Structure 1
Amino acid sequence: MPDIELDQIDRKIINLLQGNSQITNLELADAVAVSPPTCLRRVRRLREAGVIAKDVAIVDPSKLGSHIQLIVTVELKGDDRVLMDAFEKTIHAQDCVMQCYLVTGSTDYVLVVCVRNMSEFEKFARATLYTNPLIKRFITLTVISRVKYETRIPIDG
């Protein structure tokens, strides 16, 4: 995916779409002061270049009933690419893992896990973490409350 040059109009489009991906092309074009066909071409270009990766609905887990979020730090037994690839493949297969980050420091990965209850987490932990021969140790932190959650990437414009 090649890097593309983003001008001020592109940046304004991105900022507006991050706040409301349901905005009409007509409203978006008006907000960034370009014609609707020009705006549509720019949005298509941003999608094709992967700058806009997805259009999604962000769901509040608390509105769907009981959900528990947990942060899990994972340290692997080694740091070679084969171990990392195998671990990442395992994590990709887990629906309850919402996010996974390869990080620097004393741990290798940080997972964000969302489950309906602790029994569901225990099932996940037993099947994926405790019995995984690649894992040296893991630490689980239970989220008490979400103080800040933002999906918008800050960009100038």
Structure 2
Amino acid sequence: MIRNFIFVFILLATLTISNAISLHKRQSLFGGFGPCPNVEDTFSVTMSPDPLVSPHLITITIAGEEVDGLTIDAVSSLVITIGATVPVQTPSVFPVCNSTDCPIFTGKPYSQTVTFLLNAPLPPSYQIDLTIGNINSSSPDMSFLHDEILACAMATVS
């Protein structure tokens, strides 16, 4: 009798746990970042957690090499935008380099690790844009000076 009770308890616990596990998971982004349209320079991206979870601290590492002849300098920023047609939260902005490793000229490798809080609900399908450029400080929509993007990588999650 006790063996049957233990067996039934284990069976019910297993069924309950397996029912709670979501079978619909978002596509992983590992290796899913690619170049942006009309931008020559791109960089590799690693992200944790992958796929994104909200609310959660997100860590993104970029690594690349300047190839198109433009210079990444101390006023250049990495802008991270997450969303479909509109951002799910305000874009996160980080300096690309500091005074010790700037400017970054053609052929010079660079890397940057940033952490930010993603605290907005994610839609079923969204895009992650990582863009390096000089932000126009007088623009409220985070546009870049002369619309010049120095490097970019993007991924779509569905």
Q: TM-score scaled by structure 2?
A: 0.25
Structure with a larger share of its residues in strand = 2
Q: TM-score scaled by structure 1?
A: 0.26
Answer with 1 or 2: which has the greater Rg: 2
